[in-house]
Amino acid sequence: MPGLPATHAGSRSDGATRSASPRHYLMCPPTYFDVRYSINPWMDATRPVDRKLAFSQWAWVRDLYRDLGHHVSEMTPVEGLPDMLFTANAATVVEGRVLLANFRHKERAAEVRAHHDWFRAHGFRDVYAATYVNEGESDCLLAGGRLLCGTGFRTSRRAHGEAEEVLGRPVTSLTLVDPRFFHLDIALSVLSEDEITYYPRAFSPESQELLGRLYPAAILATDADAEVFGLNAVSDGRHVVLSQEATHLIGQLRDHGFIPLGVDVSELAKAGGGVKCCTLELRTGLG
């Protein structure tokens, strides 16, 4: 299991000490991980995949979460679904209410049934099927009392209203314009209830202006940070798990009082995913 570095409690710019809150994550082992098709700019079916290395990288992230005191549930992978390890794409969960994905690409459609069955088997009673194209927490991130929802490449703009109704949180819609950053969670990361980091050029001018108003103190990622999936990160309010290659962003996070924990997700990135894509937060509302 990964050892944690010796660290001290960081502080926010307002002087408040940062503290981690316990989280519950759903992950899926990359037993059948592969790149057999190309549905995003990062996928190249001619490049070989090292499944053993992918599993090692995935397991390192899982074990790191557990070392940090978080609970990780694992679901059983299904043969023939090579992207099923990217659980964040499959649903959004708020206060125990689950809005399942409705994938844009047919290659991933069967993942929805597998996730539906997992949620039902594990006591989630309010499980809803999305009417419109909706790619789960990869395009719908909870930030305090609001949902930041992306559109432009995958999730339909009409899905935002449905998410607001089902999940009971007001939605702020953001338009993505760079096809490399086709999901919100590879262009923006929620660090705490009122703090984010994002890559401005991934968004339309209108969305950049909106984010600037909502989060004037946001950490702005560089091209280099974004291109190595540095924004595909997971934060518990104090620790931020992200790609070890995002060195500038790691420095920025440290300067803002966070404890960044860099991990190697290079093999997973061949399919267009990283830390966050492998991590679906299960918010039950039970504390």
Predicted TM-score (pTM) of the model is 0.94
- Of the residues 140, 149, 277, 278, which is catalytic? 277
Q: What is the pLDDT of residue 11?
A: 67
| CATH fold for domain 24-281 | L-arginine/glycine Amidinotransferase; Chain A (3.75.10)
Domain boundaries, the chain: 24-281
239 is catalytic: no
What is the pLDDT confidence band of residue 226, given thresholds at 50, 70 and 90? very high
Residue 287 has pLDDT above 60, yes or no: no
- Model pLDDT for residues 245-279, shown as the tens digit of each residue: 999 999 999 999 999 999 999 999 999 999 999 99
- Model pLDDT for residues 159-213, shown as the tens digit of each residue: 999 999 999 999 999 999 999 999 999 999 999 999 999 999 999 999 999 999 9
Share of residues in the chain with pLDDT > 90 (%): 93
- Of the residues 70, 160, 183, 256, which is catalytic? 183
**Three-state secondary structure readout of the chain:** CCCCCCCCCCECCCCCECCCCCCEEEECCCCCCCCCCCCCCCCCCCCCCCHHHHHHHHHHHHHHHHHCCCEEEECCCCCCCCCCCCHHHHEEEECCEEEECECCCHHHCCHHHHHHHHHHHCCCCCEECCCCCECHHHCEEEECCEEEEEECCCCCHHHHHHHHHHHCCCEEEEEECCHHHCCHHHCEEEEECCEEEECHHHECHHHHHHHHHHCCCCEECCHHHHHCCCCCCEECCCEEEEECCCHHHHHHHHHCCCEEEEECCCCHHHHCCCCHHHCEECCCCCC
277 is catalytic: yes
- Model pLDDT for residues 151-174, shown as the tens digit of each residue: 999 999 999 999 999 999 999 999
